[in-house]
Structure 1
Amino acid sequence: MIQGTVGEIFVVDDDPAVREMLSLVLGSAGYEVICFADGAALLAVARARSPVCMLLDVHIPGQSGIDILKELRAQDYPAPIFIISGAGDISMAVDAIKSGALDFIEKPFRGTEIVERIEGAIRAFSRRREKLPCTSQSLHFPGREPLTRREREVLELISAGFSNKEAGRELGISPRTIEDHRANIMKKLGARNATELLRIVLDAERA
């Protein structure tokens, strides 16, 4: 267990078996796990306090996991949020990342993998918040679709020469998620390749 990461984790899933499994696995790693079966119950508690991490299922009663994610991110919720998705929900999970999710965990999952990913995410999330405001926060791209905060963080790293794997390690997310962000950044900024992307960034730094 990584010292300093113990704290509350919110788990939102309408499947009692999933809630029980995550409670056992994360509880044995030293976390206090608070479970919710729907978004309304989560939001009632989330307005009062924030956990060190949240696991949010895509399909829950009432508001969907994506709706809850957008609502929390609109409030700049100060905790990393993982989306839990089934194999058929991958495109939805990618959309969730664009809406502010840290990463997604695909069902079925292994307990040891979840603990490793969560601890990595918490460490990376803390590092990034300590470094803010970072260089990329000041970059502006007039006339182009705005980048999300996470996209700016990814852009900062890939502009510095980080590989997808290295950037993922720094941000506590998977290389696959970095690639999704990278593709979306290039689309927003109108870059056809990595060279064009770097030129756009350099022009923005000089402006």
Structure 2
Amino acid sequence: MATANGTTQEVFIVDDDGAVRDALRLVFEMDGYQVTAFPDGGSFLAAARTRTPSVVVLDVHMPGRSGLEVLQELGPHYGAPVFMISGQGDIPMAVEAIRQGAHDFLEKPFDADTVLTRIREAIEARTRKASQKTGELILAPFTGEDQLTPREREVLERIAMGASNKEAGRQLGISPRTIEVHRARIMEKLGARNTADLVRIVYSDVRRN
């Protein structure tokens, strides 16, 4: 059952397609989640102001406010991980959403087991992070760290420790493809050409200190 501390976990689904909402509702409810579905961004945002679910599944393309616009209005500090729903042609938009704070994205067509696994991993990763001490980091200070977002810092820590994209994704509750997005962004910000460059940048300052 999808519970934490004896409380049923809730999933918010935001999609203008009723068939998609119904299919996802069935998948999550069969796994024990409580589900609240919204046909548009406005109704979701109204609910999000008063309560925070365990996770949000948000469609990229919707009439009126797009998923990206809803994400921007939601803000980067919302208390639940946000998964963007995207078709193959929407991947660039989904990548942009990740850069703006989305947790991950789910590609159509959906596989129920994959969706549930990704959601469980996201919730578990968030629970682990909440149990850690504030500011507990693996890496020592290094040049350029102030350019990275908290998520990029977490990804870089895993890379520096030698984790593969798959391993880092499992630890952080995101997909290997999303790890690749963050890795590319980190390399761009730090001026690294490859993973070896990243490790040298991170650890060269440590050796000098």
> What TM-score, normalized to structure 2?
0.89
Distance 2:138 2:68 in 1: 27
Q: CA RMSD in A?
A: 2.1
Pairing of 1:128-207 with structure 2 (within 5 A): 128-131=129-132, 132-135=134-137, 139=141, 141-142=143-144, 146-205=147-206
Q: What do residues 70-116 of structure 1 show as CA deviations (whole Å, max 9, x unaligned)?
A: 23233x01111100011110111111111111111011102222112
The one of 10, 19, 22 aligned to 2:21: 19
Cα contact 2:87–2:108 (8 A) shared by 1? yes
| Counterpart for residue 81 of structure 2 | 80
Name the CA shift for 1:134/1:145 in 2 (closer, same or farther; >3 Å).
closer
Distance 1:65 1:140 in 2: 35
Distance 1:156 1:13 in 2: 34
- What is the SS of the residue equivalent to 2:79? coil
Task: State the 1:140 CA deviation.
Answer: 5.8
Cα contact 2:14–2:58 (8 A) shared by 1? yes
2:81 maps to amino acid: P
Task: State the 1:134 CA deviation.
Answer: 3.0
Cα contact 1:7–1:32 (8 A) shared by 2? yes
Distance 1:129 1:30 in 2: 23
Distance 2:62 2:141 in 1: 37
| Counterpart for residue 119 of structure 2 | 118
Name the CA shift for 1:51/1:191 in 2 (closer, same or farther; >3 Å).
same
- What is the SS of the residue equivalent to 2:135? coil
| Counterpart for residue 42 of structure 1 | 44
Q: Which runs of 5+ in 1 are unaligned?
A: none
Q: Percent identity?
A: 53
| Counterpart for residue 98 of structure 2 | 97
Count of residue pairs brought into register by the alignment: 205
Distance 1:168 1:188 in 2: 21
1:8 maps to amino acid: E
- What is the SS of the residue equivalent to 2:21? helix
Cα contact 1:145–1:189 (8 A) shared by 2? no
2:107 maps to amino acid: E
**Could you tell which deviates more after superposition, 93-102 or 40-49?**
93-102
